[in-house]
């Protein structure tokens, strides 16, 4: 009986040690960083993006950060954006700085497993006819983030501009920016893009009907969030 009692104590102690060891080692988390201009700013992450991500990885295993501002060019994020002639608008990466303040606060003291950067922007650059420098700025932005987070494995999901101005009547470089986004997305196995051509028709939150609008419909934003999440998951699975 005494031997049996001693064994029970030993087993109990071992169980406690194992449980304590598991509890003391938090899982490394998947980080999702979302930024861009108005179509990203209007995206409600709680509608479809976060539920899809959490269903895959678990609520306690993900960190989601979004910072976006409507009507802004990529030079508000990329610190080295410049025109081909050298006399165009100067870079002022204040929106990138505000994004990184949020990111650094969210990941402080956390063990990070993966980082995915999700980008929905380009309308302003298409309007300002800055397609000539957009490719370098887009790739440069990803490099900038990779350097700041000291990682070489950041996945990149790009939301391609919709079919709002396929004739380039209002935004002269609309199709050029679209093509660049796809080109960049196809340039690296860690990059990819989502289609938004079918998301800017229907009803917006105010009840107004839109057709090939600059912004997405109410249902369009929900689908966009789901597509961003699904593509992010796909990239993470492919890179494992």
Which pLDDT band holds residue 90 (cuts at 50, 70, 90)?
Answer: confident
Q: How many Å separate Cα 228 from the centre of its chain? A: 8
- Confidence at 89, pLDDT banded by 50, 70, 90: confident
- 1 pLDDT tier (thresholds 50, 70, 90): very low
Kindly report each contact of residues 204-210 with a partner whose C-beta sits within 8 Å and lies 24 or more positions away, as own/partner.
Answer: none
For all residues of the chain together, what is the average pLDDT?
A: 91
Residue 25: the pLDDT is 63
Query: Is-contact 37 123, C-beta < 8 A?
Result: yes
Q: Write out pLDDT tens, residues 153-191.
A: 999 999 999 999 999 999 999 999 999 999 999 999 999
- Is pLDDT at 72 greater than 50 in this prediction? yes
* pLDDT single digits (tens) 6-62: 455 544 544 445 444 444 467 899 999 999 999 999 999 999 999 999 999 999 999
Q: Interior CA angle at 170 toward 164 and 172, to 5°?
A: 95
pLDDT of residue 165: 98
pLDDT for the residue 6:
46
Predicted model pTM? 0.89
Give the pLDDT score at 170. Answer: 97
pLDDT value of position 4: 46
String of b and e for 137-159 (b: at least 16 CB within 10 Å)?
A: bbbbbbebbbeebeeeebbbbbb
* Highest mean pLDDT, choosing among 10-19, 78-87, 95-104: 95-104
* Domains, the chain, with CATH or none: 38-239 (3.40.50.1110)
């Amino acid at each position: 009986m005494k031997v049996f009692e001693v064994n029970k104590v030993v087993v109990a102690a071992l169980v406690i040690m194992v449980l304590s060891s598991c509890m003391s080692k938090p899982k490394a988390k998947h980080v999702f960083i979302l930024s861009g201009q108005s179509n990203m700013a209007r995206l409600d992450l709680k509608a479809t993006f976060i539920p899809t991500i959490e269903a895959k990885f678990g609520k306690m295993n993900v960190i989601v950060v979004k910072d976006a501002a409507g009507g802004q060019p990529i030079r508000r994020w990329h610190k080295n954006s410049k025109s081909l002639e050298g006399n165009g608008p100067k870079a002022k990466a204040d929106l990138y700085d505000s994004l990184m303040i949020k990111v650094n606060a969210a990941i402080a003291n956390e063990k990070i497993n993966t980082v995915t950067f999700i980008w929905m922007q380009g309308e302003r650059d298409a309007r300002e006819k800055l397609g000539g420098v957009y490719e370098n700025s887009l790739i440069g932005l990803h490099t900038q983030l990779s350097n700041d987070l000291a990682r070489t494995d950041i996945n990149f999901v790009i939301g391609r501009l919709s079919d709002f101005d396929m004739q380039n009547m209002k935004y002269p470089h609309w199709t050029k920016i679209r093509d660049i986004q796809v080109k960049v997305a196809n340039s690296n196995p860690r990059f990819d893009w989502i289609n938004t051509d079918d998301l800017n028709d229907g009803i917006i939150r105010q009840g107004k009907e839109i057709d090939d609008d600059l912004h997405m419909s109410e249902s369009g934003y929900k689908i966009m969030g789901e597509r961003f999440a699904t593509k992010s998951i796909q990239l993470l699975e492919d890179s494992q």
